[in-house]
Amino acid sequence: MVLVELRDVFVRFNGKPVLRGINASFERGVHVVLGRNGAGKTTMLRAIAGLVGFEGDIRIDGRSVRQLRRGELSRLVGYCWQNPYYGFIEATVEEELRAILDILGVEGDWVVAEVMVPLALMGRDPLTLSGGEAKRVSLASILIAGQPVWLLDEPFAYLDWDGVEAVARLIDYGRRRGKTIIITLHEPFYAEIVRPDTYLALSDGSVVSRGRWGELTDETLEKVGLASRGVVCDSLCSGRGS
Ligand SMILES: Nc1ncnc2c1ncn2[C@@H]1O[C@H](COP(=O)(O)OP(=O)(O)O)[C@@H](O)[C@H]1O
Ligand SMILES: [Mg+2]
């Protein structure tokens, strides 16, 4: 079932096109959007989340993003921005986790918190967390609302290896729960960890290639200016230990 669909989507900032006619659909499962800095990955997620104006049509579960009210859209789409500190408003991590549940009037999916947030952090002031801790809390504080669509913008940024494993577990959990998960990455290495179903390669606001993850070739990666599959993985994975 197609949950997220983009039809001929354009986004312009100050007249300059940043997305240039994107057509894509995402079914349940895990999808990566690959591209260099400035390719338009974040803008694409923000458009799906209804946070930037666009031309064309974006539909979530058949409903036009433009016509959904903010609250409805927030219950459908969990958008996790890249900067973990942005958006913390509560005095403790636990209150931060509960905040979105009160705002949206939904029950929490506390497995998300269990996977991402060590108990020792629950009483801390979110603004005193390290970058990696903040990233964990930030992801959990949004996805705890149980949205069927997850948009993860560079979810591995700021994380040490434990954090990377926690995000990989979170994505596996989401996959088992039947979520539609769209993940932006500028580093194909992390895609090998999440084992996505499909990829979409973005360059300068256009889709260069898309398909099953297994079909992604080094030629395509080269075309969008990214390292070959496995190159970084070989060196990092071999040093990863048992
Ligand atoms: N709010 C904005 N105003 C003006 N330009 C923007 C804005 N947001 C993004 N851009 C520009 O759009 C282009 C794509 O940005 P972005 O979607 O963040 O790319 P990516 O996430 O792939 O690195 C960049 O050139 C960026 O500077
Ligand atoms: Mg980005």
Residue 84: pLDDT band (50, 70, 90) is confident
Ligand 1 site, residue 74, Cβ cutoff 6 A: no
Q: Choose the CATH number for 2-235 among 3.90.1720.10, 3.30.420.40, 3.40.50.300, 3.40.50.720.
A: 3.40.50.300
**Among the ranges given (86-90, 118-122, 133-137, 142-146), the one the predictor scored with the smallest mean pLDDT:** 86-90
Q: How far apart are the first and last CA of the chain?
A: 38
* Average pLDDT over every residue of 25-52: 97
Ligand 1 site, residue 205, Cβ cutoff 6 A: no
In the reported structure, the alpha carbon of residue 97 is separated from the centroid of ligand 2 by a whole-number distance in angstroms of 24
pTM over 0.85: yes
For residue 76, pLDDT beyond 70: yes
pLDDT of residue 238: 47
Decide if 154 is catalytic. Answer: yes
Residue identifier of the C-alpha nearest atom 27 of ligand 1:
38
pLDDT, the chain, mean: 92
For residue 239, pLDDT beyond 80: no
Region at 158 (left for phi over 0; alpha for psi -120 to 50; beta for the rest) = left
Pocket test for ligand 1, best of 11, 13, 52 (most atoms within 8 A of CB): 13
Q: Helices marked H in the chain — which ranges?
A: 41-48, 70-76, 93-104, 110-116, 131-143, 161-176, 188-194, 218-223, 231-238
> What residue spans define the domains of the chain?
2-235
To which residue do tokens 């940043």 refer?
18
Residue 155 · residue 167 · CB < 8 Å = yes
Q: What percent of the chain is modeled with pLDDT above 70?
A: 94
Residue 240: pLDDT band (50, 70, 90) is very low
For residue 66, pLDDT beyond 50: yes
Residue 78 · residue 152 · CB < 8 Å = no
Burial category of 108 from C-beta neighbours within 10 Å (exposed 0-12, middle 13-18, buried 19 and up)? middle
For residue 44, pLDDT beyond 60: yes
For residue 225, pLDDT beyond 50: yes
* Largest pairwise CA distance in the chain: 52
Q: Which of 154, 215, 219, 222 is catalytic?
A: 154
Residue 86: pLDDT band (50, 70, 90) is confident
Ligand 1 site, residue 48, Cβ cutoff 6 A: no
Residue 151 · residue 79 · CB < 8 Å = yes
Sorted by sequence, the CB contacts under 8 Å of residue 159 that are 6+ apart come out as: 132, 135, 136, 166, 167
